[in-house]
Amino acid sequence: MANPVVLKLQRGARLSVEDERAIAEACSEMVRLGPREVLIREGENPIHVHVVVEGFACRYKELSDGGRQILAWLVPGDFCDLHVAILGRMDHTVATISTSTIARLDRAAIERVTSISPSLSRALWWASLVDEAILREWLLNMGRRPADQQIASLFCELVWRLRTVGLVCDDEVLMPLTHVELADTLGLSPVHVNRVLQQLREAGLIELQNKKLKVIDLSQLMAFAEFDPGYLHLSAID
Amino acid sequence: MANPVVLKLQRGARLSVEDERAIAEACSEMVRLGPREVLIREGENPIHVHVVVEGFACRYKELSDGGRQILAWLVPGDFCDLHVAILGRMDHTVATISTSTIARLDRAAIERVTSISPSLSRALWWASLVDEAILREWLLNMGRRPADQQIASLFCELVWRLRTVGLVCDDEVLMPLTHVELADTLGLSPVHVNRVLQQLREAGLIELQNKKLKVIDLSQLMAFAEFDPGYLHLSAID
DNA sequence: CGGGCTTTTGAGCCAAATCAAAAATAGTGG
DNA sequence: CCACTATTTTTGATTTGGCTCAAAAGCCCG
């Protein structure tokens, strides 16, 4: 199967054959991690740059009262900590959700490659800006949409994002999060997430069992969620 | 008074005298805008890059039901649309809040300058990453904190951000937003914002009138909000 | 087949929303 | 400088979406 990092970055800029080779080469060192293993902790300044190759991870922050807010889902192709070299210090933690394969790239190698290839450096810049755009959409969802639309939006986003890395088949995707983790993502309680999921199932919009999410009719779910994929900026490639 | 863009970017990287001159020069063309004027609309791809020099602006998205979510406050020194050249299309709107002075920089000039000066290009990169960090913190606030802490956090952030551009005097800052705009920022209703503001006043944490916010005791407000300025990444300079 | 997660259900509650209207402010033109 | 508006802020009454607590049921896996 193609390298998800290449598949993703192609959406940000036209990549040359050398660019693709450079990425694939940089991803040579892989680590296999179990579920819920911390990759990078708040406050650290990791030596390597991490990329999800397989599985799911997330960014999150914790509060003193035990509350937790998940700030991003990291799926295959996503960088975990490209920004930390500039910022100097992680302001949040990154951990796996399901068993995952993570590539550790050499920070120096990244800098070398991007200084040579404008298209690759543009692609990385693009990826970071899309992360930001996703955060804006999540903020909109949390601030102004009811729980059912919020969950539906999130599932739409998941399908669109996984599509670009070839991980969707028949509008069915892996969704390895528990209700607690979904709740930590959406700012809801797990009990309420459970109830809303039941409603979405009863409405015939989704099926969800065994960590597999099947979207019955994507355009219908998108309409329900008022989802517009524009913010994902999935243009390039073709 | 010093250029707020310079003051801000100094927090992201050590700037040379030439860097500072280049910024000041690029900010030569200024526009004066009234309150609530749209600067860049969702879907557009503006020719210029805009920077707030004076006054307040914000990013926001609107929903079909008339709801609105403010996604960022843009204060003096903040870039409005640095990212759009890479993404190709604005996924949200930018408008002023109060009467503001906005600098229009030539996009080509930015690219020219950054290709010459690594420190300046690093500073812009840093600014964009801090925007993202702020979004994460806002998401945490909205998802997991009660309204009073949320508002208190926002005010703490405002003080810290305005401090770096020299706009705080005696822990007193300009806060030109109405309750409706605060509510659109926080994902709350204006009525509730009003009530919580009263509580914060009664608790002796803030004074707020005539668009002026006075923080009685910043460390006390920070403690109440559980505010940690780490996510603002205000290191460099010294 | 037993112990720990998850998911589900029920009951009661609360933070924040909505609706509606009054009071206070800020603008605006004469 | 003042009357006249329009906007903002404030208050009260009521409703509600989503929370908490608690316990049962279903899973997964060694």
How do residues A99-117 score in pLDDT, each as one tens digit?
Answer: 999 999 999 989 898 889 9
Task: Name the pLDDT band for B85 (thresholds 50, 70, 90).
Answer: confident
Specify the CATH class of A4-123 in words: mainly beta
How do residues A154-207 score in pLDDT, each as one tens digit?
Answer: 999 999 999 999 999 999 999 999 999 999 999 999 999 999 999 999 999 999
Residue with tokens 């969800």: A208
Triad B133, B136, B140: Cα angle to 5°: 140
pTM: 0.97
Task: Name the pLDDT band for B28 (thresholds 50, 70, 90).
Answer: confident
In angstroms, the CA A4 to CA A78 distance is 8
Whether pLDDT at B236 is above 90: no
Interface check for B144 against chain A (CB to CB < 8 A): the answer is yes
Share of chain B above pLDDT 90, in %: 92
CA-to-C1' span, B176 to C25 (A)? 14
Q: Strands, DSSP E only, in A34-99? A: 38-40, 48-54, 57-62, 68-74, 93-96
SS (H, E, C) B205-223: CEEEECCEEEECCHHHHHH
Q: Is B135–A132 a contact, with Cβ atoms under 8 angstroms apart?
A: yes
Specify the CATH class of B131-232 in words: mainly alpha
Residues 6+ apart with CB under 8 A from B137: A61, A91, B153, B157, B231
C-alpha distance from residue B96 to each of B11, B31, B33 (Å): 24, 12, 7
Beta strands B57-62 and A212-215: pairing type?
A: unpaired
CA-to-C1' span, B232 to D5 (A)? 43
Whether pLDDT at B104 is above 60: yes
How do residues A50-93 score in pLDDT, each as one tens digit?
Answer: 999 999 999 999 999 999 999 999 999 999 999 998 999 999 99
pLDDT of residue B134: 98
How do residues B190-218 score in pLDDT, each as one tens digit?
Answer: 999 999 999 999 999 999 999 999 999 99
Amino acid letter, residue B103: A
Shortest Cα–Cα distance, B135 to chain A (Å): 6
How do residues A35-46 score in pLDDT, each as one tens digit?
Answer: 999 999 999 999
Indicate if B131-232 has the same CATH topology as B4-123.
no
Q: How many CB atoms lie within 10 A of CB B201?
A: 14
pLDDT of residue A27: 87
Which position has the higher pLDDT, A28 or B44? B44
Q: For residue B171, which phi and psi values (nearest 5 degrees)?
A: 55, 30
Q: Which residues of A touch B131 (CB under 8 A)?
A: 132
pLDDT of residue B235: 79
* Extents of the domains making up chain B: 4-123, 131-232
pLDDT of residue B237: 60
Task: Name the pLDDT band for A237 (thresholds 50, 70, 90).
Answer: low
Q: Is B144–A67 a contact, with Cβ atoms under 8 angstroms apart?
A: yes
Residues 6+ apart with CB under 8 A from B16: B117, B119
Amino acid letter, residue A3: N
How do residues B106-145 score in pLDDT, each as one tens digit?
Answer: 999 898 988 899 999 999 999 999 999 999 999 999 999 9
Task: Name the pLDDT band for B238 (thresholds 50, 70, 90).
Answer: low
- Residue B20: its H or E element: helix B17-26
- Residue B59: its H or E element: strand B57-62
Whether pLDDT at A2 is above 90: no
Instruction: Report CA torsion sign: A113, A114, A116, A119.
Output: positive
Which residue of B87, B136, B143 is in closest CB contact with A92?
B136
Shortest Cα–Cα distance, A129 to chain B (Å): 7
Beta strands A93-96 and A57-62: pairing type?
A: antiparallel
Q: Which residues of B touch A235 (CB under 8 A)?
A: 88
Q: What does the block give as tokens for B175? A: 């806060």
Mean per-residue pLDDT, A5-24: 94
Q: Is A68–B144 a contact, with Cβ atoms under 8 angstroms apart?
A: yes
Shortest Cα–Cα distance, A223 to chain B (Å): 12
In angstroms, the CA A188 to CA A207 distance is 21
Q: Is A67–B122 a contact, with Cβ atoms under 8 angstroms apart?
A: no
In angstroms, the CA B205 to CA B221 distance is 6
Whether pLDDT at B66 is above 60: yes
Task: Name the pLDDT band for A236 (thresholds 50, 70, 90).
Answer: low
